[in-house]
Structure 1
Amino acid sequence: MQNHTALILVDVQPDFMPGGALACHQGDAIVPGIDHLLRRRLFKQNVATQDWHPRGHISFASMHAGMAPFQQISLHGYPQTLWPNHCVQGTPGAALHPDIDWSLVDLILRKGNDPDVDSYSGFRENHGPEGARPSTGLAGWLRERGVSEVYIAGLARDVCVLWTAQDALALGFRTHVLWDLTRPVTPDSDANTRAALEAAGIGIVEAASQLA
């Protein structure tokens, strides 16, 4: 792998695993492959994002009377899916998955810690009350280290991985999604996710074969 590449691991946390508060379909299946990929040290930089919500986060359905998880509201003028309470700061479900050697990661970026703004992408928060999507600083951090190309894995394929990939491309990075090292909230979304990636020109890579 060239020295201008970075691996971005999105929200590989227990709350997104089977049995977790916001379980992704077969989310635990990607853990061994991600740990193996990190240990191979193929990338110049390795980054992990970590969903890190305060209690009472505005995206939690429990904060909206009469609303249930996965229903939508309008928030700051944009559609907002309401989620089960998940990845609450300091809880076991918010930790990075214990079966991955995170000492091999160069940066752990916590996101979603503004109580009034959701944050799917590793690069930019969702729209806030001012209408903008504030930067997390990740793009600048990568550019300072000579990174121009990113490979993205993690959870969930149809939400935070997708938004991270779309933002990476929009911010000027050559972008690939490691499809076999991602999983969706529901596989019903996979056709739409793949179509969105292909339409944007984002590479869809099978790590098991193409990074072998």
Structure 2
Amino acid sequence: MQDLSQSALIVVDFQNDFCPGGALAVPEGDRIYPVVQALIDRFQEAGRPIIFTRDFHPQNHISFVSQGGPWPSHCVQNSPGFDFYPRLRIPQNAAHFYKGYLENVDAYSGFEGRLVHEGRITETTLESWLKAHDVKTVFIVGLATDYCVRATALDALHAQFETIVVTNGIKGVDVNPGDSDQAIADMQKEGALLLEWPVKNG
């Protein structure tokens, strides 16, 4: 059994718009659900911190094609696409960090997000929040491997957290073939540990 003391779970952008049928769907992005939920349940059982990051874009966000960016409009604030993948069971005491909420600032990494408290975006960063909770190790799952997962893992490593990327809990968009494999290689090269999380069938 994995020792989760001093660990936290970061679930990156498991949102409708990144799942099949969404505006910026990751192919088979919903397939990670059993692993993600198993980890959420395990961390909740262990009484360890669970963090959810989400894109929270204004309608005129700099990353959108309409504004000259590379992506279709996605995860627009308070739209159905912004919502979590519907099967997720979210613990009441989970911490939520929004990113990409300023129209002129792009943000792939969860470490660029800010804590949401009582519906308001605060000034609290993910790094400062984790350190205030004496976290030394982060487990990372979510979407997409080659963008927000990669950026979050690299920032976690730069912030001196032991970083474990759960390989069966991530999926990539692969705009260019091989992008996800390259992202995993990049994370590993920088010091991330790769782990496959065991999940019971059914």
TM-score range (shorter-chain normalised) is 0.7 to 0.9
Which residue of 2 is the match for residue 96 of structure 1? 84
Residue 19 of structure 1 pairs with residue 21 of structure 2 = yes
Q: Structure 1: 5+ residue runs without aligned partners?
A: 65-80, 126-134
The answer to whether the 8 Å contact 1:149/1:173 transfers is yes
The percentage of counterpart residues that share the same residue type is 39
Q: Are the structure 2 counterparts of residues 143 and 197 from structure 1 closer, same or farther at C-alpha, using a change threshold of 3 Å?
A: same
Q: Return the match for 1:194 from 177, 184, 187.
A: 184
Rounded Cα–Cα distance in structure 2 between residues aligned with 1:32 and 1:167: 26
Which residue of 2 is the match for residue 207 of structure 1? 197
Once the two structures are overlaid, the 10-residue window that deviates more, 181-190 or 84-93, is 181-190
Offset from partner CA, 1:23-77 (integer Å, 9 cap, x none)? 112100011221122122346210000110000101101123xxxxxxxxxxxxx
The answer to whether the 8 Å contact 1:32/1:100 transfers is no
User: TM-score, structure 2 length as denominator?
Assistant: 0.85
Which residue of 1 is the match for residue 119 of structure 2? none
- 2:138 is paired with a residue whose SS is strand
Q: Structure 2: 5+ residue runs without aligned partners?
A: 114-122
The answer to whether the 8 Å contact 2:59/2:76 transfers is yes
The answer to whether the 8 Å contact 2:19/2:85 transfers is no
The answer to whether the 8 Å contact 1:7/1:43 transfers is no
Letter in structure 2 aligned against 1:139: E
Question: What's the CA shift for 1:188?
Answer: 2.6
Which residue of 2 is the match for residue 77 of structure 1? none
Rounded Cα–Cα distance in structure 2 between residues aligned with 1:198 and 1:152: 13
The answer to whether the 8 Å contact 1:2/1:43 transfers is no
Rounded Cα–Cα distance in structure 1 between residues aligned with 2:4 and 2:57: 35
- Residues paired across the two proteins, number: 184
Which residue of 2 is the match for residue 45 of structure 1? 49
Q: Are the structure 2 counterparts of residues 164 and 149 from structure 1 closer, same or farther at C-alpha, using a change threshold of 3 Å?
A: same
Rounded Cα–Cα distance in structure 2 between residues aligned with 1:93 and 1:44: 28
Rounded Cα–Cα distance in structure 1 between residues aligned with 2:96 and 2:136: 19
User: TM-score, structure 1 length as denominator?
Assistant: 0.82
Q: Return the match for 2:140 from 152, 159, 167.
A: 152
Which residue of 1 is the match for residue 116 of structure 2? none
